[in-house]
């Protein structure tokens, strides 16, 4: 396992060691001891989630507020996505900035997003199966979001907006300007 820190402190791209032969491949997708040692965290995941989506589906940008904030370890089992994390930690030097990583079933990368970030992904392939671990349970009352096309954050989703498929909830999320003065995370 190799860990690559992104420009956003605490966000890591995980490169797993893959063993391939004529039978297929094998890799250890998670090992708490290795993960914590390489990331400098002490993360205990308590919930796994999986979704299947078609090309153009954009899920996000979501986060959980307060005591229900979540760190996530995400990966793609089938297909490909553009995965995005936006720093919402008010005192962070990268507050309001984002990082995007292409995750595919072929590159087998994983992306760790700590608490204090909005997260979302766009499906780039015909279909994608997306899998992620959370270190805190989902709480509906703590649900928060950021509009996907916010002009301040200015995410390059790498697709024409006419191709996007969004939930009604995701079309109505607030802008960065509307939430930036609210302290969600320290």
Tell me the catalytic residues: 62, 132
For 160, the token pair is 């024409």
What CA–CA distance (Å, rounded) separates 186 from 120? 21
- Going by C-beta distance under 8 Å and a sequence separation of 6 or more, which residues neighbour residue 115? 69, 70, 71, 135, 136, 185
What CA–CA distance (Å, rounded) separates 154 from 2? 30
What CA–CA distance (Å, rounded) separates 66 from 184? 6
Sequential DSSP letters for 15-78: E---EEETTEEE-----HHHHHHHHT------EEEEEEEETTBEEEEEEE-GGG---EEEEEEE
What CA–CA distance (Å, rounded) separates 150 from 175? 6
């Amino acid at each position: 396992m190799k860990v690559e820190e992104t420009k956003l402190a605490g966000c890591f791209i995980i490169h797993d060691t893959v063993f391939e032969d004529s039978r297929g491949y094998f890799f250890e997708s998670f090992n708490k001891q290795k993960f914590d040692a390489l990331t400098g965290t002490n993360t205990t995941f308590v919930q796994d989630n999986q979704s299947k989506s078609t090309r153009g589906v954009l899920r996000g940008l979501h986060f959980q507020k307060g005591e229900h904030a979540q760190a996530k370890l995400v990966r793609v089992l089938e297909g490909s996505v553009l995965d995005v994390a936006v720093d919402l930690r008010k005192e962070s030097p990268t507050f309001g900035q984002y990082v995007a990583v292409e995750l595919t079933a072929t590159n087998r990368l994983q992306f760790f997003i700590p608490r204090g970030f909005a997260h979302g992904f766009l499906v780039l392939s015909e279909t994608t199966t997306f899998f992620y671990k959370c270190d805190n349970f989902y709480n509906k009352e703590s649900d928060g979001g950021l509009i996907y096309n916010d002009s301040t954050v200015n995410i390059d989703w790498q697709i024409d907006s006419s191709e996007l498929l969004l939930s009604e909830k995701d079309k109505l999320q607030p802008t960065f300007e509307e939430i930036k003065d609210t302290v969600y995370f320290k």
